[in-house]
Structure 1
């Protein structure tokens, strides 16, 4: 797989129309020209051949820095699939079973409580009926949540304790996990789906099982085999600060310096749920490994193909979709017709989904509007990068799939 973004294959060689692919760039560029998006980079690859790279606009509007192939992006929750892959590589070695209670490694969760009633300041809780298991973390059915949801008293409870768009200053992975365990669960594990800090807890579990920090696990099991030299938890001392794109809110307004500068250095808390920065070319190596069934271009195996196939199946009970099994959360992409596996969302009913997509297409995105998807039917990967937070600001993800799929010949 060619991940040098300056070199592309003729789209016609792999069944894509070059002229129709230009529609992708034109539609995305319109948001830039209208002052709603700072800039973007988008990649399209098929059968392992990179065929289209669109770049437009600014990585830093105020400084006049354009988007380049070397631009680094805060990928936020696109960290989650990396954590899930690292965890499943340990699973493949027999380090744990998916049904194991996580309290075996994180004893603070043995006495977790579940919300029953009351306000955020003084919730009424009940005991666990079943323990949180490893597969609950991978599938977001653990009962953990996010403070930024603003949908439930438990979300507010998180915010009261300093967990909204970040974690308390100075707290490391072990301490943050203990804090999560001390807060009520939203529901009994396995009974519903809710997007939350499950993958952060999974990252801590990986650290304990592997006996080393999460960044070292990533380097050993994912980044090293894939040659991902430009992906890290925050910028490294040798990285140019100007290589990191500026972070913007709605209207392309720069976000406050402390928020934007959090990614300028390695944090105390290595967030398995959202801590990485990367370049488009580097993350493409990871996405293409997924498409290739766990193989690197050199033939080294990161994951077994059957393991990966198991991860991208729908794991919600009764093959339910997120709209029926999940909590009613605002989302920038449809929840109908979409299930959830072990680290990825997956389209289970394209008609109910409501857009052009192949059954089995799996994906995930980040808070600053980044996204990738893998279409196993068309043997296609697409990745998209910008820095606009929150990701619900513009419906870019809803436009991206039909814009790419219409270019297939």
Structure 2
């Protein structure tokens, strides 16, 4: 019993890449022991149930023999007994499968490192180099492992796994994982269908934290950034969206929440009814209204639905929108740094109106502003500068 527990712990550490040199040698020695074959088979089978892996038999055998040689079992050790030799050849599939699983974990970690650089503001040499955003996102588990999602732009939460829009089952996701993060970097947009059937469309530079399975009493998620919700109706289990400044409670409805850090939090109701709660007060919204949080207080006013939902409909809609607010939207979608040149601060007071598709090039979008205001644009050291 003790041997099994130790082997399971070493196996888990090996999969996560967390073994010390001493522990790795211990694990290698235990892999060689034929008595451990049934345990290894069960551990690998369990891993297969949580990952979509295709192990090529020929490549698997090659991997095993390389592994065997590294252990100095092929040429530098006495000839193993028939029983040991037979058991070793049976183990090749376990080693190959384990290596494949570890490879996915390694790629996930490498992607984590890569993403940390990708989400940084891109540096461009010219306006023509700046491209619009796309369906880019990744899933992050409690261990910090990040997995890129397919370009189809959809993620589905199934009973015991996650599946992307291409039909692939995602690695690294355990059935008992409590919370996961769907992270959409600058230049991205993505959607997710939660376990209750509710659909969430997530804007650039946003993060949605969600459980694989909701509790028996409510459906609770967390949001940083912006998302549009189409909530499945369930009067027995309210749907709760928590942001830094509020909690929005609904039973079944459609609404938009913009809750970017250092910006005002705005909840816009399209259909149904929602309750907004802050530390200081509680207000209800009717369709076509929006709640704006300022200094902990909720201001309710009519909403311009076309403008508020434009991002979801792949458009920019500006209605006398201050240039400073427009810059924030453009920076998120085009993943650029836009600055108002010193001496041109008066531009920040300008407002603009117009509509343009979000798949427009950055160069096309700038024409929208130049039709009503003389604005010069320069690219210096990878950054965009606006000036009079």
TM-score class, shorter: under 0.3
Which structure carries more relative contact order (alpha carbon 8 Å, separation 6+)? 1
Bigger share in strand: 2
Larger Rg belongs to? 2
Could you tell me the TM-score, scaled by structure 2's length? 0.19
